Structure 1
Amino acid sequence: MVGSLVATAIWTMIPAYVPNNAAVLAGGGRPIDGGRTWDGTRILGDGKTWRGTAVGTITGVVLALLLNRIRAPVVEATGIELLPEFTLPAAVALALGAMLGDIGASFVKRRSGRERGASFPGLDQLDFVVGALGLTLVVTPEWFFATFTPGVIAVIVVVTPLLHVVTNVAAYKLGLKNEPW
């Protein structure tokens, strides 16, 4: 029961987990805020670009569609029936919502006086989750409630920060990130 709940939570969030990493790899380009400031501080900063947002979103959607293709064999091999099939609106909402959550966190960080790359515990680990779940709820509430049971959401809230720390430390050690958070 717990194993299938964890597997369902991770499977369901893959289209939201991967976009920010894809955005880092594809980074560069025009900043979303166009260099504008608010009260003398950048609105978002150079780390939030149109290209990164587009690549991250597309990557998340493509992953959701690939998961749909392998769902039947995975269910057959594991016996985990709760792995959802992604609708296109759900895939877009999860991926774009993750990107928007990260962009929103950047805005909050700039307003709190933190520089690009500065740590903000809690926000750094769950910003994209809140964005992904929030946009998915708005875009496709039926799919959201069928997929994100209270148990799945609880697992996401507990497991995501752990995955976030592990993947960011790995990216830092591989030289893909400038800081390990």
Structure 2
Amino acid sequence: MLLTYLLLGLLYYLPAFIANGSGPLVKNGRPIDLGKIFVDGRRVLGDGKTFEGLLISLTYGTTVGVAISFFLGYKWIVVSFMESLGAMLGDMVGAFIKRRLNIPRGGRAPLLDQIDFVLGSTALGVVSGLSISLTQFLFVIAVAIVAHVLTNRAAFRLRIKSVPW
């Protein structure tokens, strides 16, 4: 019973996980920050956050939501789009924070790297109708931390990412 409850929470976040994982598939693109420098003399986000990556992320995450909507209702199309958008905005906030801390693109920021997208997807998901318990949320955070490590190592070995974190 508890396992089913936790896995349902994970299913709720599947669009966000897919959106977060699909952005790195875009190798080159136009940076969302348009190359702008912030007041601290560093890039706002950096070259890793592109319009093309955002579009791919929103498309993949929302497509997963369309599939989920056949089982959980059509509201999941909207929820999945909002979760995907929230995941990408959370990821951009993470990149912004990393630039302010002088952490280069691809540099490590433990926990921030793993949960920024979950926090963003939760914020916009809840606004659009996602109902998630604290237990499910914490389970998703734990899965995100483990999945981040494993998928990034795999992406590094497949030469999708230049660093294994």
The CA deviation string for residues 70-92 of structure 1, in whole angstroms up to 9 with x for no partner, is x3xxxxxxxxxxxx446232111
Q: Which amino acid aligns with 2:28?
A: G
Matched, 1:32 2:16: no
Matched, 1:120 2:104: no
**147, 152, 155: which one aligns with 1:163:** 147
Unaligned runs of 5+ in 2: none
Unaligned runs of 5+ in 1: 72-83
SS in structure 2 of the partner of residue 5 of structure 1:
helix
Q: Which amino acid aligns with 2:11?
A: W
Q: 1:124 to 1:85 in 2, by over 3 A?
A: farther
Alpha-carbon distance in structure 2 between the residues aligned to 1:154 and 1:174: 30
1:168 Cα deviation after fit: 1.0
Alpha-carbon distance in structure 2 between the residues aligned to 1:175 and 1:161: 21
Query: 4+ residue runs of structure 1 moved beyond 3 angstroms?
Result: none
Residues 104, 127 of structure 1: 8 Å contact kept: yes
TM-score (norm 2): 0.92
Alpha-carbon distance in structure 2 between the residues aligned to 1:27 and 1:176: 8
Residues 5, 151 of structure 1: 8 Å contact kept: no
Please name the residue that 1:98 is paired with.
87
1:8 Cα deviation after fit: 0.9
Please name the residue that 2:57 is paired with.
56
The CA deviation string for residues 91-133 of structure 1, in whole angstroms up to 9 with x for no partner, is 1111110011001100000000110000000100000000000
Q: 1:160 to 1:133 in 2, by over 3 A?
A: same
Residues 6, 155 of structure 1: 8 Å contact kept: yes
Alpha-carbon distance in structure 1 between the residues aligned to 2:11 and 2:74: 10
The CA deviation string for residues 8-40 of structure 1, in whole angstroms up to 9 with x for no partner, is 122111100011221111342210111111122
Alpha-carbon distance in structure 1 between the residues aligned to 2:60 and 2:16: 10
Residues 27, 51 of structure 1: 8 Å contact kept: no
Alpha-carbon distance in structure 2 between the residues aligned to 1:86 and 1:115: 41
Fraction of identical pairs, as percent: 34
Alpha-carbon distance in structure 1 between the residues aligned to 2:27 and 2:104: 18
Residues 27, 49 of structure 1: 8 Å contact kept: no
Q: Which amino acid aligns with 1:155?
A: F
Backbone CA RMSD of aligned residues: 1.4
**121, 138, 151: which one aligns with 1:132:** 121
Matched, 1:153 2:154: no
Matched, 1:3 2:3: yes
SS in structure 1 of the partner of residue 57 of structure 2:
helix
Residues 98, 128 of structure 1: 8 Å contact kept: yes
Bigger CA radius of gyration: 1
